[in-house]
Every structure is written in C-alpha cells, then in structure tokens.
A and B are shown apart, each in its own frame.
Chain A
Amino acid sequence: MGKEINDEDLMLRYKAGDASAFEALYQRHKGGLYRYILRNCKNEGIAEELYQDVWMNLIKARERYEVKAKFTTWLYQMAHNRLIDYYRRQQARPNTNSIDTDEGVDETLARRQDQPEHKTEILASTEQLLRLIDILPEDQKQAFLLREEAGLSVEEIAEVSGVKPQTAKSRLRYAVNKLREGLKGYEPG
C-alpha cells in the first residue's frame, strides 16, 4: 500500500490543475467540516449553505494557496470566519462571550437532568453527548469540535480561533469536563 498523500500536496496538485486531488481532499474533510458547521449553527439548511460557501471559497483561493500552515488549519479557519460572519449577520449568536466557568452549563445540565421527561427522552449516551455539545458555550464548543472533527492540536485550535494557546486549552478543558459530567448518568453498563 502506497503512502498516503498529505493534504498540502493534494491542494498543490489541485492548484496545478489536478481536479482529482480536490476530490480526494473533499472526501477526507467533508464529514468533519459539515458537522463542525452544523454543530455550531444548529440548523441544517444554514449549515449546508455555509458548508458550500466554505468549499467554494477554497476553490476560489486555489490560485493563491501557499503551504504556510497545515491544510486542515486553513480549511477550518475559513469555516470559523464564515461562521463568525453568519453570527454577525444574524445577530443571534448565543453565549458569544467566552464562559470559562462551569456555572452556566452546569445549571442548564442540572435543570435538564432533573426533568423526568428529559431523562426518558435520552435513550442513548451518544444522543446525550450531542445534546450536551449543543448547550456548551460557543467558544468551548468550537474548541471541542475542532479537536474532534478536525483533529487539531491545542496550538492549532488557538490559531483557528485567534486566541492564545493557553486560552484554547482552557476552553477545551472546560468543555471536556462538562461533557464528562453530563454523561455520568449515561455511562454504558
């Protein structure tokens, strides 16, 4: 089995005119990017629109592409910027301020877990996990999704988000702790 071509080389090949290179890149990243956008905007229709915009922007930026950073970082940075634009236009971005405390989420989770009908709704831990992600603060959610969907390191998450690595790490830490706490009642077995 041959060595897999990395993202940067594929993008350079696409820049040179190889359309198949783009298809390979697309197949690698389409699921993660789509979910990253969907989890953030929470609307399939809008997610599809934003998702298509991000890929179209990448296609247009083909001629300017230079290998200055990891391709994934570049791709998700475009997606992050597109989401920011969307939030600004909608003026509906919830929890835009970074919440580095557990207080807000904990209260929300406690309320939901205290509701009997809510407990009965959640049949599987995976569904619970997705719900927990939905109610995470945006910054923490972004950090977690960038880690899980794009596979970015703390430093790369910081680069995409435009913050210091310590801040990105803190956000990720809070997100992980909250999700773990929220899943305690749904541990398998």
Chain B
Amino acid sequence: MSQDKHDQEFEEYLQGDSALSTRYQQSSSEQAPPGHLDDAILAASRREVKAKPGYVSSPFSSNWQMPLSLAAVLVLSVTVIVTLQYDHDDIHLTKPTVEQPSPQLQQSVYNTQIDRADNDAQTEKLRESEMEVISEMAVESDFTEETSFSPAPAAMKREKNLAGKQTDAVSEEKIISASRQRLEVMSDMPTAPRVFEKSFAGASRGLAESVQKDQVNNPTIKAMRAKTKMKSQVEEFAKKRNLNAKSDMIGTVSNDSIATSKSLKESSMDASLAVATDAVMGNADATEWLRQIKQQWQRGEEQSALSQLRLFREENPNYSEDQLLEVLAPELVEMSKTEH
C-alpha cells in the first residue's frame, strides 16, 4: 500500500506537478552566482569571439566525412582496377602478326621461281646436293641444343654489302617481299612466327644475291662444285660413325650455317639455296675461293672477281696482301684495296 503510494507520488513528480518541485524552486531561486563571476565569464566569451570571429560548419564535416571517404576509396579502387585491366588487354592486342601478301605478288614470285627452276636443272641438282651436305654437317656437329633460325652472320654481312651495290638488278625489296610470300605459300604457313620471318629475310637477301650472280656468271654454281667436294668428305665421315641422320637432325645444330639450312628447308629451296651457298662459302676453303676468284679474273669477269675478292678480304681479314698476291693478279688486289 505504502509502495503504491510512493510510486504514484514519484510519477506525479516526474510529471512536474509535485509539491516537492515547487518547494525546491522557491528555496533555490535566490541563490545565484556573484556578479563579478558573470562579468568575467561574459568578458571571456566576447574575447573569444574577437580572437576567433566565427566558425561555419562545413557541409562535409563529421556526418559526411566517413561516407565521403569510403566513396572516394571505392571510386579510386575501381578506377585503378579498370585501368590495369585495360592495359592488360592492350598487351594482348599487340601480339605480332605477319602481313599477308597480295595475291598478284604471290603469283608473280611463284612464276619467276618456276621459270628459274625449269631453266637450270643443273642448279637444282646442285641445290639438292648442297642440302645433303649441310645435313651431313649437322650430323657431324656434336651440338644438341635448339638453335635460332637466323642466317649465318658472315653470309648476312656479305649479302648486306652486295645489296647496297646492286642498283642495276631487280629491286631488292621486291625480291625480298616476293620471296617471303612465296615461302609462306609453299610451306603452308600463312601466319609464320616472326622468328621464322627473320630467316626469310636472310634467305630473301640471299635470293637477291643469287639472281645478281646469275646475271654476272652464275658464281653460285661454281661454289657448288666446291661444296660437292666437301659432301663426299662428309659422307665418309658419317659412314664411319654409322649415322643416318639428315634433315631430322637439322634442328639440333647451332652453328650459323646449319641454322640457316634449317630455315631454308622449312621455307623454300630457292631461297635456302642462296643462304646455304653463302653460309658454306663463308666456311669454304680460302684457297679454293681464291682460285675461283683468280679464274674469274682470267676469264675477264673483273667485276665478279672484284666483288668476290672484297668479300674474301672481309671474311678473311687475317689474309695478308702478300698472301693474296701469291694467287691473284696484283691489279685485282690493288683494285680491291683502293675501291674498298
């Protein structure tokens, strides 16, 4: 009963209409802080306003800081991810591709090569024998690592020199392009990889040189004779070692000549012949080479002999002038020296 009364009185008190509250307000109304305290506090408040005139709440203060920060982080993250993804796609899109030749050019090159093959059966035979020689050399080699399919540096150097001076021949660029297209057609590789395309370039230059040499006196054929001789030596060596590897072993050799032959085999016979000829020429016996040059000179093929001698001197810088004079005519040696 007493508890209920107290609860009721307390509820009345909370409602604000109790005698206790009224009495307390009456008793305490007279108590107030002293005046000097009021003055000090109000003066301090004015000083504070003068020192710092005002603070305007930023629209992004407190309540907005957290969501705004989260939104900024989210936008930045998405931007970075999208940017990285875009760059990644770009890398995939820039994969190297091989240009497709025009049909007319393919046909033109094809016809040219057919004509040449028909007109020179002997050359074809020599080419076959040349490939066999190169294969035998691959067998002879002990290298087993995969090689790059680039032409021999020495051959490339000679091709470069020749290409710069063959202004009266068929345009080198045309021949290179034609060679490349024909090689792709014949090898059923319309999208050959770039590494293969490098060997095409070397082979094409070789083809340009081959055409030029045919126009002069077909020195390639002469070179083939020397290579045929080498072939017999290689065959003997292979028989001794009881090896019967030819084209299958080409991919495992590493010297420049063999690497060039591999690329030639995979491309075309015409182009490979030129490069292979150059490669073997670079490694041919220097004495035999000089003898050929001498014969050219004696037959009155001055330009051919001169160009061959220049190549010879580049390939064999250790050959002194006296050594050359022992074999060649002094005029030829002098010309090669002065015009070089």
Contacts and interface: CB of A to CB of B under 8 A. Distances in A.
By Cβ-Cβ distance, the 10 closest A-B pairs, closest first, are A17-B54, A126-B27, A34-B33, A22-B45, A16-B54, A55-B41, A19-B49, A63-B55, A17-B53, A19-B46
Interface stretch (B16-24, B223-231, B249-257, B305-313): B16-24
Contacts of B42: 22-23, 26
Most buried by A among B9, B49, B54: B49
Contacts of B27: 126-127, 129-130
A60 B335 CA distance: 103
24 contacts: A15-B54, A16-B54, A16-B55, A17-B53, A17-B55, A23-B42, A23-B45, A30-B38, A31-B32, A48-B34, A51-B37, A56-B44, A59-B45, A63-B55, A129-B24, A130-B28, A133-B24, A148-B21, A173-B10, A176-B10, A176-B18, A177-B6, A179-B20, A183-B20
Contacts of A180: 9, 20
B119 interface: no
A5 B25 CA distance: 24
Contacts of B14: 154
B33 A176 contact: no
Contacts of B55: 15-17, 62-63
Given A17-B53, A180-B20, A62 B48 contact: yes
Interface in B14-72: 14, 18, 20-21, 23-29, 31-34, 37-38, 40-42, 44-46, 48-49, 52-57, 61-62
A55 to B, nearest CB: 5
B44 A59 contact: yes
A26 B62 CA distance: 27
Contacts of B143: none
Interface of A: 12, 14-19, 22-23, 26, 30-31, 34-35, 38, 48, 51-52, 55-56, 59-60, 62-63, 66, 125-127, 129-130, 133, 148-149, 154, 172-173, 176-177, 179-180, 183
A127 B20 CA distance: 13
B33 A17 contact: no
B58 to A, nearest CB: 11
Contact of A26 (B21, B26, B34, B41): B41
Most buried by A among B6, B54, B61: B54
B interface: dominant SS: helix
Given A15-B54, A62-B55, A148 B41 contact: no
B33 A30 contact: yes
Given A48-B34, A51-B33, 16 more contacts: A15-B55, A19-B45, A26-B45, A31-B33, A34-B32, A35-B31, A38-B31, A52-B40, A59-B44, A62-B48, A62-B55, A63-B52, A126-B27, A129-B23, A133-B24, A173-B10
A30 B29 CA distance: 12
A52 B33 CA distance: 10
A35 B28 contact: yes
Given A23-B42, A179-B20, A180-B20, A34 B9 contact: no
A38 B25 CA distance: 15
B31 A34 contact: yes
A48 B6 contact: no
Given A30-B32, A51-B33, A56 B52 contact: no
Given A35-B31, A51-B37, A63-B52, A176 B46 contact: no
Most buried by A among B10, B45, B54, B57: B45
B319 interface: no
Contacts of A130: 27-28
A17 to B, nearest CB: 3
A21 to B, nearest CB: 9
A177 B62 CA distance: 43
Contacts of B20: 129, 176, 179-180, 183
